Amino acid sequence: TIKGKAKLTKDLQDRNGALWCLIGCDNIPGNTTGDPMKFVDYSINALNTIGWKEKFGWEMDREKFLEIGERIYNLSRLFNSREGFTRRDDQLPERLKEPREDTGWKIDEVDFEKMLDEYYSLRGWDEGGKPVSKTLERLQIEV
């Protein structure tokens, strides 16, 4: 089933975008517990412990942390859009659309397109995959 996979993809991308700014690794203890947000909370606590608020004037919390990752993905998408990247480039390799030899499972193209629509909507992008002005304003990204 495709239910919830677009949101999971977005959430993990936002989480990882912010974590990778900290030079965090996906495979360190605490980040592989099965709870994708446990390491986020650990990282936020570490940032606040080392004086984040004193240095930047605001305390880090989960919402702000994930927004950093969201900004990263939107900035990347703006760059890619400027370079001509569109929905037609957001495709999976052909081999994933062919039945597996062992199980017969394959990606259903109709389901994939529905999931891509949902993902774009969750991201605040238009049907072509470009961030809309409302999203950019919310994230304080100037174009």
Domains in the chain: boundaries: 5-22+62-138
Concatenate the DSSP letters of all residues of 105-129 into one string. Answer: ----HHHHHHHHHHHHHHHTB-TTS
Residue 46 banded pLDDT, cuts 50, 70, 90: confident
Q: How far apart are CA 74 and CA 77, in angstroms?
A: 5
Please write the tens of the pLDDT for every residue from 106-140: 889 999 999 999 999 999 999 999 999 999 999 99
Average pLDDT over residues 56-65: 89
The more confidently predicted of residues 96 and 6 is 6
Look up the CATH number of domain 5-22+62-138. 1.10.599.10
The more confidently predicted of residues 114 and 59 is 114
- pTM exceeding 0.75: yes
Contacts of 72 (CB under 8 A, 6+ apart): 17, 18, 21
The pLDDT assigned to 135 comes to 98
Q: Which of 132, 135, 123 is CA-nearest to residue 7?
A: 123
pLDDT > 70 fraction of the chain, expressed in percent and rounded: 91
Q: Which of 23, 5, 65 is CA-nearest to residue 40?
A: 65
Contacts of 134 (CB under 8 A, 6+ apart): 124
